[in-house]
């Protein structure tokens, strides 16, 4: 029987919290991705033009890769790699929140900020449980 060193064992609570954050992130990302593709003008005023549809397609491709990667790492139980991807996604959400704040859009600021906190907390918990040094 192979045993892991104590600092290499991922805590069950950290795994559960990370799993919940991944699932909520994938659901929210999926919702906004489909909404942007189906009706670009529904999310952004004047977004029915060709440029908005093209941009929505680019964002959908980005979101699909990130969400798919999170689900893959979760299924593979690659906690260390998942912690890194969650941290990267948390930083992206901080940038989105800053953009929302600069544009004085409260929902576009608070939503990403809440996800940033959850993503970075999950990354920190998974990373700390695995002995990752940030």
* pLDDT the model gives residue 51: 79
Confidence (pTM) = 0.81
Is the pLDDT score of 120 beyond 70?
yes
Buried b (16+ CB within 10 A) or exposed e, 76-113: eeebeebbbbbbebbebbbebbeebeeeeeeebbebbb
Residues 31-75 have pLDDT tens digits of 989 988 888 877 666 667 787 888 888 889 999 999 999 999 999
* pLDDT the model gives residue 12: 81
* pLDDT the model gives residue 31: 92
């Amino acid at each position: 029987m192979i045993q892991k060193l104590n600092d290499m064992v991922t805590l069950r609570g950290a795994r559960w919290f990370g799993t919940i954050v991944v699932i909520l992130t994938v659901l929210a990302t999926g919702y906004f991705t489909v909404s942007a593709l189906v009706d670009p003008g529904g999310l952004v005023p004047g977004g029915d033009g060709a440029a908005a549809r093209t941009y929505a397609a680019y964002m959908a491709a980005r979101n699909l890769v990130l969400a798919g990667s999170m689900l893959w790492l979760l299924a593979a139980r690659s906690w260390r790699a998942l912690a890194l991807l969650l941290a990267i996604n948390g930083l992206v959400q901080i940038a989105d929140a800053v953009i929302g704040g600069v544009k004085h859009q409260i929902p576009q600021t608070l939503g990403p900020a809440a996800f940033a906190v959850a993503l970075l907390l999950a990354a920190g918990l998974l990373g700390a449980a695995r002995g990752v040094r940030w």
